[in-house]
Amino acid sequence: MTPVLRLLARRLGISLIVLVGVSMLIFGIARVIPGDPARIALGPNATAEQVDALRESLHLNEAIPVQYGYFVKDLLRGDLGTSLYTNRPVTQDIAQFLPATLELVLFAGILMVGIGLPLGIWSARYRGRWPDHVIRLVSLLGVSAPSFVWAVILMLLFAFFLPIFPIAGRISDIYEIERVTGFLLIDTLLAGNLAAFRDAFWHIVLPAFALAVSGIGQAARLTRANMVETYDKPYIEMAQAYGFRARRIARKYAFKPSLIPSLTIIGLDFAAMLGNAFLVEAVFAWPGLSRYGVAVILRKDLNAIIGTVLIISATFLIVNLIVDLLIAFLNPRIRYSQRGSS
């Protein structure tokens, strides 16, 4: 087995263990918090018999480990149970709401990498001169406020005072887009409706940017710090002594070694955006998983809570796995190391 495959297998194994742990934890917590889910679901007018019957059908009268056993049995068949809030299978609910959140987070991730890394490179290349000072100030500003604050600020500035962008939502009501992937930016293109694509694009810019601001700042600062360190390495001195072009050194010979340590943190930031997305979605009335998640938590909709948390954890783990593979791909020491450990 090549080291990369071994690394992949190892990480997949660890991810699975983490998922099992998360499922147990959230399963226990959801049942320990006060409130009777059956009573909340049926409302105050239901009779005690009705409530009891529902509790029985949900196995709520059993011990928690036994309940977990039922849950795992269903899960292995791909069944996360039925939501008491929407009366639909939880998997169906998630399939409906997750794409909007993923679209937002992915777009924000692209902004983070696409803006943050070049800023960091630029800053390091002009260390101590004015572009560096400006970029450092801006990125410090970016990491200094949480994303929901940026969401409110950006909404006020660019949707309210200067109405450049739409104030909320995913797309204007006038467009009817057939759902294929659930990603509006893709679905509109598949439908060949450029006007709708433009509209969806304008809608996603502000929330995605709000979500990405701190990540952009973080990525820029990190990249700069690592690049500055790399610039002092003998191999950069050698590249300079051999007259490699400064731009080429910045973008290739200094960037690649500097990216490797930054990438882990960027991956974590990216995954953290999944959590922050809940708040940004709330500000921009973005119809994603957050609205669903908050609603089901307040209603103590056990199956839906666990389903939502599990899906987010899985996404988090997948992102980390991708980052690990990227690092292995960039860093020959990992690719060729005998033990394949990370």
Partner 1 sequence: MRDVLRIEDLVLKFRGYTGVTEVLHGISLNIRAGERVALVGESGSGKSVTARIVLGQLQELRSAQVQGGLYFEEQDLNRLSRRQWHALRGTHMSMIFQDPTSSLNPVFTIGVQFTEVLRRRDPKLSKEAAAKRAGELLNSVSIHDHARVLNAYPFQLSGGMNQRVAIAMALANHPSLLIADEPGTALDVTVQAQTLHLMHDLVERTGTAVLFISHNLGVVREFADRIYVIYRGRIVEQGPTQAVFENPRHAYTRALMAAVPRITGGGVPEIQDMDGAFFDPLEVHGEDRP
In whole angstroms, give the CA distance from residue 342 to residue 332.
12
What residues form DSSP beta bridges with 89? 82
Write out the E strands in the chain.
none
Candidate residues 12, 13, 88, 336; the one interacting with partner 1 per rule CB under 8 A: 336
Cβ nearer to partner 1, comparing 34 with 243:
243
Cross-strand pairs, 82: 89
Q: Which of residues 137-176 bind partner 1 (CB under 8 A)?
A: none
Task: For the CB of residue 240, give the shortest distance to partner 1 in the complex, in Å.
Answer: 6
Beta strand extents in 115-194 (DSSP E only)? none
Q: Give least dist CB 337 to partner 1, A.
A: 10
Q: Which is nearer to partner 1, 70 or 329 (CB)?
A: 329
Q: Which is nearer to partner 1, 69 or 131 (CB)?
A: 131
CB-wise, 53 or 326, nearer to partner 1?
A: 326
* Shortest CB 251 distance to partner 1, Å: 13
Minimum distance between the CB of residue 249 and partner 1, rounded to whole angstroms? 10
**Judged by CB under 8 A, does residue 1 bind partner 1?**
no
- Indicate which single residue of 162, 333, 338, 339 sits in contact with partner 1 (rule: CB under 8 A): 333
Q: How many residues bind partner 1 (CB under 8 A)?
A: 20
Cβ distance to partner 1 smaller for residue 272 or 326: 326
Site for partner 1 in 247-286 (CB under 8 A): 253, 256-257, 260
Interface positions, 68-107, toward partner 1 (CB under 8 A):
none
How far apart are CB 7 and partner 1 at their closest, in Å?
17
From CA 333, how far away is CA 50, in angstroms rounded?
63
The rounded distance, in Å, linking the Cα atoms of 11 and 317 is 9
Residue with token string 């969401």: 151
CA distance 230 to 224: 10
- The 224-243 contact track toward partner 1, x by CB under 8 A, reads ---------xxx-xxxxxxx
Q: d(Cα 106, Cα 161) in Å, to the nearest integer? A: 28
Compute the least distance from the CB of residue 90 to partner 1, in Å: 45
Cα distances (angstroms) measured from residue 339 to each of 2, 10, 326? 10, 11, 18
Q: Hey, what are 9's tokens? A: 């297998």
Inter-residue contact 256 to 330 (CB < 8 Å): yes
Cα–Cα distance measured from residue 293 to residue 131, given in angstroms and rounded to the nearest whole number: 42
Question: Which one of the spans 10-18, 58-66, 82-90, 325-333 is the region binding partner 1 (CB under 8 A)?
Answer: 325-333
Least Å distance, CB 95 to partner 1, is 40
Question: Minimum distance from CB of 323 to partner 1 (Å)?
Answer: 17
How does 114-130 read in b/e, with b if 16+ C-beta sit within 10 Å? ebbbbbbbbbbbeeeee
How far CA 99 is from CA of 16, 42, 134, 245, in Å, comes to: 23, 30, 36, 43
Instruction: Enumerate binding residues for partner 1 (CB under 8 A).
Output: 233-235, 237-244, 253, 256-257, 260, 330-333, 336
